[in-house]
Amino acid sequence: MRRTKRRDTGPELRLRSALHRRGVRFLVDTAPRGGNRRRRVDILIRGPRIAVFVDGCFWHSCPEHAHLPRSNRGWWRRKLEGVVRRDRDADAELTAAGWLVVRVWEHEDPEAAADRIEQLVRGRRRGSRSRVPAEEGTAGLRPEAAKGRTRGNGGSKCGKTQWQC
């Protein structure tokens, strides 16, 4: 088990490559905000809040390819059931924090999985944010920054942002 890679597995690299070719940018092997810091996501797309896990068929008990080793079956059964239980717990935790959880099996075609994820990214970007028109002189800043209500106002003594002085 020591040689089992935590990140950069073959299926994960193929999926990341396919996503990158489509213009989807992401973080790798990171803990998302709002979730358990010890549970890391394989591919994290921050803007639309999508967490992608690339699950191995053996370790995550794929319905098509799951099998138990012949020796010490009871131990392996408990071990793999614990992994699946932890996966479901992570899914529930991330969903409650506002993330969309996507699970991809290692045997899935990376191009098809990337197509599916790209559609989710486009759908969540389109439906989740509306652009607020910039006020005069704000150069497209976030509305709270344009009104001078941000922390660290650029050292201005008058209480305005550095762009308003």
Structural domains counted in the chain: 1
Please report whether residue 54 resides in a domain.
yes
Question: Which pLDDT score is estimated for 59?
Answer: 87
Identify the CATH number of the domain in which residue 46 sits: 3.40.960.10
Distance of alpha carbon 31 from alpha carbon 38, whole angstroms? 7
Please report whether residue 19 resides in a domain.
yes
Please report whether residue 80 resides in a domain.
yes
Please report whether residue 24 resides in a domain.
yes
Lookup: tokens for 119: 């559609």
Question: Which pLDDT score is estimated for 6?
Answer: 73
Please report whether residue 16 resides in a domain.
yes
Question: Which pLDDT score is estimated for 130?
Answer: 39
DSSP-derived 3-state class of residue 92:
helix
Say which residues have a Cβ less than 8 Å from residue 91's Cβ, sequence separation at least 6: 101, 103
Q: What letter does residue 42 receive in the DSSP assignment?
A: E
Q: pLDDT (tens digit, 9 = 90+) per residue, 67-125?
A: 888 999 999 999 999 999 999 999 999 999 999 999 999 999 999 999 999 999 999 98
Lookup: tokens for 25: 């940018």
Q: pLDDT (tens digit, 9 = 90+) per residue, 110-153?
A: 999 999 999 999 999 876 543 333 333 333 333 333 344 334 44
Say which residues have a Cβ less than 8 Å from residue 143's Cβ, sequence separation at least 6: 132, 135
Q: Which domain holds residue 26?
A: 10-128
Distance of alpha carbon 8 from alpha carbon 31, whole angstroms? 16
pTM over the 0.85 mark: no
Give residue 1's pLDDT band: very low, low, confident or very high (50, 70, 90): low
Closest Cα to residue 146, out of 157, 158, 132, 128?
A: 132
Question: Which pLDDT score is estimated for 136?
Answer: 34
Judge contact between 94 and 34, C-beta under 8 A: yes
